[in-house]
């Protein structure tokens, strides 16, 4: 349930409503918009069903919410949220651009890519230190040594680090080096890890599962928010369908849907969404046009030698071209890059 206070509601009115909800054994979530205050009611459904709030002073109306996710819902929080990652506002007017190699392979490899993506306009350096792979024989990443490389290179180039955490026991370690913790598609419903991330205040880049519905994705994010961490950035990275020409099917519908359903920022990953470097630029352009708050792009100076995902990695020149194209599209949707 949400309780919508009227425009003239006083702080005393709000306090009385909150007190009544909490006396019923329920929790509240306060959202202050430009014109209205909305109080979200969280807890046992039976207790909520017995609440009578419409007659209280200052209450305009109550609305029953049918979806199980609450804190990530735009109904609970009508105003769009901005998630600050080491000072950068993801979800603001400026698009968040995250770029770099799929995997950290060496210091020079990461540094060369970082210099190029920074010059082209990226604010974040992406790279995997821990790589969950389909085959156990594929490159699994450099672990903590990879994290050290990312942090050192990012500090030298003025970028922020986004990298994946693959195990709840590694959250503390990865947090020492990263500005933004990525939850990959395979861990979207790793609920124990999501609960652990909820206990931190570290921003989380939350990718969609391989075959997850939008509702499943939002409900999984609720685990993080329910734990107290509301620094969530959604990432559409394509879903598994019957199509085999592309690695995944890039779901632009999901970006538009999430902008309607949740107040948190949404970015797009056309690298994984297509698996083909030739398609990354067109899908990146489309993602910005449909409302994405940013992009995460795989860039490698020598993709033919990459230890993972070379087929979907842009060379620096193609990334520069992508950024030039995005700068032309962004103003049409009220953004800049």
CATH classification for the domain delimited by 83-333, as one of 3.40.50.620, 3.20.20.70, 3.20.20.80, 3.10.450.50: 3.20.20.70
Q: Which CATH superfamily is domain 2-63 in?
A: Phospho-2-dehydro-3-deoxyheptonate aldolase; domain 1 (3.30.70.1140)
**Cα dihedral 299/304/308/314 (nearest 10):** 20
Per-residue pLDDT 10s for the chain (337 aa) are 889 999 889 999 999 999 999 999 999 988 887 778 999 898 888 888 888 888 899 999 898 887 789 999 998 888 999 999 999 999 999 999 999 999 999 999 999 999 999 999 999 999 999 866 666 666 667 899 999 999 999 999 999 999 999 999 999 999 999 999 999 999 999 999 999 999 999 999 999 999 999 999 999 999 999 999 999 999 999 999 999 999 999 999 999 999 999 999 999 999 999 999 999 999 999 999 999 999 999 999 999 999 989 999 999 999 999 999 999 999 999 999 9
**Per-residue pLDDT, 180:** 98
**Per-residue pLDDT, 132:** 66
Give the pair of three-digit tokens for residue 77.
Answer: 């929080």
Distance CA 291, CA 82 (A): 15
CB 101 within 8 A of CB 300: yes
Other CB atoms within a 10 A radius of the CB of residue 246 amount to: 16
**Per-residue pLDDT, 328:** 97
The structure tokens 């899908």 sit at 283
CB 293 within 8 A of CB 97: no
| Domain 2-63 matches domain 83-333 at the CATH topology level | no
**Per-residue pLDDT, 134:** 64
287 by DSSP, 3-state: which? helix
Whether the CA torsion 57, 262, 203, 336 is positive or negative: it is: negative
**Per-residue pLDDT, 36:** 82
**Per-residue pLDDT, 47:** 87
- What are the residue ranges spanned by the domains of the chain? 2-63, 83-333
**Per-residue pLDDT, 263:** 97
Query: CA 207, 212, 217 angle in degrees (round to 5)?
Result: 55
Distance CA 215, CA 65 (A): 14
Which is it for strands 96-100 and 88-90: parallel, antiparallel or unpaired? unpaired
Non-local (6+) Cβ contacts of 32 within 8 A are none
The structure tokens 């398609």 sit at 279
* Closest by Cα among 134, 145, 149, 135 to 101: 149
């Amino acid at each position: 349930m949400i309780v919508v206070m009227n425009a003239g509601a006083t702080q005393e009115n709000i306090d009385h409503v909150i007190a009544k909800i909490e006396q019923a054994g329920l929790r509240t979530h306060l959202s202050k918009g430009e014109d209205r205050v909305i109080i979200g009611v969280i807890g046992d459904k039976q207790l909520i069903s017995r609440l009578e709030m419409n007659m209280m002073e200052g209450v305009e109306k109550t609305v029953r919410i049918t979806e199980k996710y609450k804190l990530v819902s735009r109904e609970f929080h009508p105003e769009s949220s901005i998630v600050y990652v080491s000072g950068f506002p993801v979800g603001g007017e400026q698009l968040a651009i995250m770029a770099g190699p799929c995997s950290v392979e060496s210091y020079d490899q990461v540094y060369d890519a970082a210099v190029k993506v920074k010059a082209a306009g990226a604010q974040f350096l992406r790279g995997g230190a821990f790589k969950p792979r389909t085959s156990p024989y594929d490159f699994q990443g450099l672990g903590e040594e990879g994290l050290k490389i990312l942090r050192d290179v990012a500090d030298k180039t003025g970028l922020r680090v986004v990298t994946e955490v693959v195990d709840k026991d590694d959250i503390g370690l990865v947090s020492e080096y990263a500005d933004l913790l990525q939850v990959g598609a395979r861990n979207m419903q790793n609920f124990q890890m999501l609960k652990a991330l909820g206990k931190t205040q570290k921003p989380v880049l939350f990718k969609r599962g391989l075959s997850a519905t939008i509702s499943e994705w939002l409900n999984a994010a609720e685990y993080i928010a329910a734990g107290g961490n509301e620094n969530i950035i959604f990432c559409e990275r394509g879903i598994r369908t019957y199509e085999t020409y592309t690695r995944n099917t890039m779901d632009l519908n999901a970006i538009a849907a999430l902008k309607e359903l949740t107040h948190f920022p949404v970015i797009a990953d056309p690298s994984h969404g297509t698996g083909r470097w030739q398609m990354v630029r067109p899908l990146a352009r489309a993602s910005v046009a449909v409302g994405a708050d940013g992009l995460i792009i795989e860039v490698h100076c020598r993709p033919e030698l990459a230890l993972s995902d070379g087929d979907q990695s842009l060379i620096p020149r193609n990334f520069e071209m992508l950024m030039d194209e995005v700068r032309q599209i962004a103003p049409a949707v009220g953004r800049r890059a």
